[in-house]
Structure 1
Amino acid sequence: MRLLLIRHGQTPSNLKHLLDTAVPGPGLTPLGQEQAVALPQALATEKIEALYASTLLRTQLTAAPLAAATGLEVQVRDGIRELAAGDLEMRGDEEAAAAYLATAFAWSAGDVERRMPGGENGVEALGRFDSVVAEAAASGARTVAMVSHGAAVRMWVAARADNVDVDHASSHPLRNTGVVVLSGSPELGWEAQVWEDRPLGPAEASPEDSGPAGAGVTVPTT
């Protein structure tokens, strides 16, 4: 299966650098709407046969133009929502962002019992994302697009793709509507083929305008 993991368009909370992970969450900024509208053209060469979005409003709004262009129904699943920030929710300081991403990438590295302060642990976060991927694979669709979230996508890819390690995922930002393309299956494993090489939208936001979930971070090795 070819799996396209797409980060949602820009939100007001991204601009404020807030860890805004609760449902339903904010909508899109005007730029975020432009990014969503640009997705069908950017992915025009992909023969998408199934389309998923998370339970947060921003992913469903991002997926809507792609659904209109492909004629596919958006399948909304809680499993691919953003990593719950717990006690860090709605904080916008660097310390909170660093703690959030360090916990997420610790899960990718195998420390799945570690818990986000006041939130979920890696077993729970990986398990729910895995379940949606497994559902998509079982559907028989050859190319699947999932509109998800920056930290969730980077964490899952670093944990599940054979050729992406924590160093790469943590140091390579994933901007709004950035795409990670993988090939494989839950049984045989995954290989990343593309990490955000398509510029999406008539105007491109800087990494600083994409919020903490998509930012680069240095993860301690000890």
Structure 2
Amino acid sequence: MHLYLIRHGQSENNAKDESLRVQDPGLTALGAQQVAFLGEWFTATPLDVLITSPFRRALLTTVPIYQATGLTPQVRTNLHEIGGCVSGYPEIGYQGEPGMSAEEICEQFPGFQPEHDIDQQGWWKSKPYETTEQQLARVQQVMQQTFEEFGTTDQHVAYVMHADFKQLLLQGFLPELPITSETFGPLRNAGVTILKIEEGRVRLNSYNGIQHLPANLVTPATDSENRV
């Protein structure tokens, strides 16, 4: 299989100080431009399965890919950003929030298919901030699910997701590589990393690809934009 790990377009939180960020932001005008180019790229790039995080910024990033490919986007909770859907920031602490419900997702993103655990309580269900242990367990869950569902196929699969969890997932798939922002640079908004998975082996085919973006649309430009 070929696995495309896609970071969402620039979110409204990416452009703000951490203390001003909200629980589930949309995209900036620049982010909307980024994902439009991303969708156009997928008109000439093979894709068989489209799966997205339930955060609004990821759903909005998925829309142009959906329009370009006609694939039904599957909405899966386990691709969410580290921490979950929370309000607050480190200095004051975090408060768990519901996240979008299945009904809200279907109303605002027609054609998308939320998984069964996303109900009227929202996808995060106001749980506390995700612990480090829970983050690492989720990495293993996503890896196992990927191998079981697609590992023996020749399908092209896209996960639309987030910088911090994408980096953790890459570290899980490629433990021999020091994949951090310090060694490999920041993960770009609407950037695509491609893994080739065959017979249980994982190869990095392309890292942080932004060839589909004009130079003036490449972000992050600052360290603060590298998160969420």
Structure 1 length as normaliser, TM-score?
Answer: 0.70
Report the Cα offset of residue 87 of structure 1: 8.9
Q: Does 1:3 align with 2:3?
A: yes
- 4+ aligned runs moved over 4 Å, structure 1: 19-22, 85-89
User: Structure 1 residues 86, 27: closer, same or farther in 2, change over 3 A?
Assistant: closer
SS at match of 1:40: helix
Cα distance in 1 between the residues matched to 2:133 and 2:90: 24
Contact 1:36-1:201 within 8 A present in 2 as well: no
- SS of the aligned residue for 1:13 comes to coil
Change (3 A) 1:88 1:60: closer
Percent identity between the two aligned chains: 28
Structure 2 counterpart of 1:67, one-letter code: Y
Matched, 1:131 2:145: no
Which position in structure 2 is the counterpart of 1:180? 193
Number of residues of Structure 1 aligned to a counterpart in Structure 2: 185
Match of 1:27 in 2: 26
Structure 1 counterpart of 2:172, from 137, 142, 159: 159
- The residue number in structure 1 matching 2:208 is 196
What is the alpha-carbon distance in structure 2 between the residues aligned to residue 211 and residue 162 of structure 1?
25
Moved more, 65-74 or 38-47: 38-47
Q: How many Å apart are 1:183 and its aligned residue?
A: 1.3
Please state if 1:84 is matched with 2:94: no
Q: Structure 2, unaligned stretches of length 5 or more?
A: 92-127
Paired position in structure 2 for 1:60: 59
Task: State the Cα deviation string for residues 142-193 of structure 1 (Å, max 9, x = none).
Answer: 1101110011101210232145224x444310111111111116x7242222
Pick the structure with more helix per residue: 1
SS at match of 2:130: coil
Q: State yes or no: 1:36 paired with 2:35.
A: yes
Q: Which residue of 2 aligns with 1:211?
A: 225
The answer to whether the 8 Å contact 1:21/1:85 transfers is no
Matches of 1:145 and 1:212, distance apart in 2: 21
TM-score normalised according to structure 2 size: 0.69
How far 1:90 sits from its partner (Å)? 3.6
1:58-115: CA deviation from partner (whole Å, max 9, x where unpaired): 00110111011111011001101000079994459xxxxxxxxxxxxxxxxxxxxxxx
Alpha carbons 1:80, 1:129 under 8 Å: kept: no
SS in 1 for 2:209: coil
Code of the residue aligned with 2:31 in structure 1: it is G
Retained in 1: the 8 A contact 2:3–2:195? yes
Aligned Cα root-mean-square deviation (Å): 3.0
1:207 is displaced (CA, Å) by 2.5
Distance in 2 (CA, whole Å) between partners of 1:141 and 1:132 is 18
Inter-partner Cα distance in structure 1 for 2:86 and 2:202: 32
**Higher alpha-carbon deviation: 198-207 or 27-36:** 198-207
More strand by share: 2
